[in-house]
Amino acid sequence: MSTILAIDQGTTSSRAILFDGLRPIFKAQHEFPQIYPKSGWVEHDPFQITESQLLCIKEVLDLVGKANVDAIGITNQRETVVVWDRLTGLPVYNAIVWQCRRTADFCEELKSTRYADIIKEKTGLPIDPYFSASKIRWILENVEGAREKAEKGRLLFGTVDSWLIWNLTSGEVHATDVTNASRTQLFNINTMEWDEELLTLFDIPHSMMPKVLSSADDYGVAKIFGREIPICGVAGDQQSALFGQSCFNTGDCKNTYGTGAFLLTNIGKKPIFDKNGLITTVAWRLGEEVTYALEGSVFCAGSVIQWLRDSLGIISSSAESEFLAKSVEDNGGVYIVPAFTGLGAPYWDSEARGLICGLTRGSTKAHIARAALESIAFQVNELVELCRDAGITIERLCVDGGAAENNFLLKFQSDISKVDIIRKRSVEATARGAAMFAELGASGEISAQDDGDSIYFKPTMDQHERDELLSGWKNAVERTLS
């Protein structure tokens, strides 16, 4: 059994968790600032990412004392783009975050060309500002001197895993893993290589791209706080959660309720290309064997609860939303569509904007809190329906992520989607997946350890009530589409 330090670099916070086998023993977490320069734009300061992450690592290593740490596993927010100078290590611009819609116009134009089908067939992804390619292009086009430097081979691109690996190894390793690569829209998931035609289309020099490694692999040695620890596993957060939930078999499915919500289903060794809005993505590669997943994405899930807390001020903590929602019998006809940055699957509408509807003089903040939680479940339900349309039977859903702490949300999800929901005692599946990949990379095996009791939520809502709620939601969504 190995001791693994899992680094979990999320959208709103950085975390470090020490695993003894699969059991989390120490944890540190620090939030860092979100930067919103314009409507629909989202950035992070790359140094605030590394500083908050190093602070977490330091706090955990201080608790570890003299004990050995065998390996590091990294999991991270995906698609977010950092471009930096290979000589100075300095970023040329802030990190452009996955939620950022600044390239919506460019993507809209591209959608009407023959490339829409080519990109989907090669990368498994629809054209959308969400993915890295158009964001890298934006930096090269808009940051003074960037294009010239990139052409001369001075600039490096990385998703957040690459940025962390580069910094942890003091600039010795410029690498990413197959799962993060599969979210850039520049990686061919059939050949498992950077795609020259797409690099040309987005006007991105190949010299910027990191080396692509497997999920459990040799990512160099982190030299931090007087220790040298090999980095042996890397995966994007959602793929890491799929692995961390032990969804090893075809048909196994998980949903993570974080800032966004992400439903991933293991589809085995061959990619399936869905026509209705689900993404095909690499789940992991172990040795040379690739496993694929179908993924549905919701951009705003837990973030609608953050909005109630930070912008409307109607709750003082995210957890309070549960008590408020349960304090009323139903949503009172109120629906919220949190399309703050557009809508993901099945709409892929980057111009859609949010709304609250169905307000009456009797509506209270409790109805609003309830409608906000219900909106998360309605959106996830649309992903479940898409999977069902693609021929995948979903009867049980493993859940994790910050908002999976919310019992009201999970019960409502179970009712609205007619699925059994399973929540493990520890909702840290993302970090656990990274620890599992790293342990595999370091020792060739994964410790078999039980993660503790699971809690089940079972559907009990009658069909009439479900139909009414679903039609209320559909009506609200239609009003937000562009």
Q: Which residues bind ligand ADP (CB under 6 A)?
A: 10-13, 258-259, 302-303, 305-306, 318-319, 321-322, 401-403, 405-406
Nearer to ligand ADP, 11 or 184 (CB): 11
Nearer to ligand ADP, 29 or 207 (CB): 29
φ, ψ for residue 187, nearest 5 deg: -110, 125
Least distance (Å) between residue 52 CB and ligand ADP: 12
* Residue closest to ligand ADP when measured from CB atoms: 402
In this structure, the chain runs to a length of 482
Nearer to ligand ADP, 207 or 318 (CB): 318
Least distance (Å) between residue 177 CB and ligand ADP: 18
Nearer to ligand ADP, 286 or 314 (CB): 314
Nearer to ligand ADP, 202 or 243 (CB): 243
Helix H, strand E, coil C: the string for 258-316 is CCCEEEEEEEECCCCCCCCCCEEEEEEEECCEEEEEEEEEECCCHHHHHHHHHHHCCCC
How far, in Å, CA of 469 to CA of 273, rounded? 31
**DSSP state at residue 215:** S
Least distance (Å) between residue 403 CB and ligand ADP: 3
Nearer to ligand ADP, 401 or 472 (CB): 401
Could you give the C-alpha distances from 270 to 111, 218, 267, in angstroms and in order? 26, 25, 7
Least distance (Å) between residue 172 CB and ligand ADP: 28
How far, in Å, CA of 270 to CA of 357, rounded? 43
Nearer to ligand ADP, 75 or 123 (CB): 75
Q: Would you call 31 helix, strand, or coil by DSSP?
A: strand
Contact in structure between 198 and 185 (CB atoms under 8 Å): yes
List the structure tokens of 354. 């949010």
Least distance (Å) between residue 318 CB and ligand ADP: 3
Least distance (Å) between residue 198 CB and ligand ADP: 27
Least distance (Å) between residue 125 CB and ligand ADP: 20
Contact in structure between 477 and 356 (CB atoms under 8 Å): no
φ, ψ for residue 459, nearest 5 deg: -70, 135
Give buried/exposed letters for 25-56 (b at 16+ CB in 10 A, else e): ebbbebebebeeeeebbbbbebebbbebbbbb
φ, ψ for residue 264, nearest 5 deg: -120, 135
Least distance (Å) between residue 10 CB and ligand ADP: 3
Nearer to ligand ADP, 63 or 319 (CB): 319
